[in-house]
Structure 1
């Protein structure tokens, strides 16, 4: 049966929620869009009039598509060049989904998005539906063809895995921290995974980080890092990025000092000298490198009260297309540093 205008409108009203679910499940905006479009094709091909609860039907179809995608993605990522990191989303992107509760904000933070990659497809789906979208275990059981008890067990297992991954960040493992902890974190909030941060606080964190990174010395950077800080990048085989992470404050500081040292080879690689902006990405502070209106790289800073515990850089151009489109449509203020390289 052909869809009526009302049927199409009903799907379009659900699209933002479906895209937000798919992004959290897949870690890729483009794959999320594809999954939602395939859900629409399934909606178009069915007898909509016989569907009693359209929202539940759409969520079930989307979840199954995402589960299939996650299974095949695991095989593809075994041959991925270098580190695989999720696609970062700029502040205000509707695909970030609901952000009313701490659980919702945390579920889409970049640090947690990285941790979700360690879960099995079923664990990830149950965690997202329960933690970020408050589906009951009864609803999840119906969506995923599980028993309610199985949904509860899977959720507790997934939450435990995420909590174990977060414990290192939440404890802030004893780095110097310095001015970052004292001057850039608002209201005594530690700034751990999932904490809410406003644009002003994010900008101060990024400004302090960039001042240290461009100073030409490692010591100012070391003072901002925890002792076991890491730095990792995703170039997807298209932009040079080290296959393994830098570990430890001094190693990370040395790497960052070299990264921010101006050089013609870097300008050639970026297609020009990038302007560096401060904003929030997936709810946390980030450096956005922009060349002639194109987002060349996004560096997400995970910080605790003790300092920056992780620096994750996305430079794979395939994972920056949506960010570039949103950058062109938004106003992100002046750069912190113009023509940095």
Structure 2
């Protein structure tokens, strides 16, 4: 059975970065949670039961064979999490969907749209993202409770449904941490497969287990905690924001030499706004902002991404913040955004 090297007891306590004994840890206190979704732009929430019972499954047009459904994807990842962490029950998933594909039954083909009854309508969503929180596996950074989280993204437009079934289907899966105060997702390249290809649910399950077993949660948390030790002055933050706007318009040869930044101009503006007004991650009274808060401004802005860009931008946000850290540490002095 696959496992992750981050559990220290049957209570599934996460190894603390500081490795303090359990009796030296502060008792858990309730954390103020924001009533926000893990992704917001152009999405809506849906319950697993509704998706299973009411949504149709797209098929390959030339042979009418079904694709791997959203429900099967969620179940495969849930089963992988249950086996990997020894959970007594399948964990619940928070699911968001977008880009509905609507239809109707044959008998209702002549009805006006407003006259359709519920049983005469059909629907499935082209894109779906979900997040599963692993109970009891958590740590704290800068007063923010982080919970181990697993999930995935499915976008049917990445598969060629106009052909016959046979080619592998495309999925994106991740394991990382959710900041409980704001539902921001913290992920890195080591915890993400952006182009997982599977021909069956069993194949999908095995590959998710491999991702979980290869994820070093303690190392990732240690890297995240380093962000709290580095600060940007307001002028440095302003320079990064200004050059982030410029990046979108650089000539292609020059842009290829500069660290990639995937967020769009609207999201850059959101980061600038929240530098002053975010209730959790705005600048300090002295005008500085540490990289942990800066990273959360990035991940917060990423919640305005479409589902099919969500994970790529999440990974890029971590990589970008890490490169800022290296620049401040003088190990990356030619960082264009600060040079």
TM superposition score category, shorter chain reference: under 0.3
- TM-score when normalising by structure 2: 0.26
- TM-score when normalising by structure 1: 0.26
Q: Which has the higher helix share?
A: 1
Q: Which has the higher strand share?
A: 2
- Higher-Rg member (1/2): 2
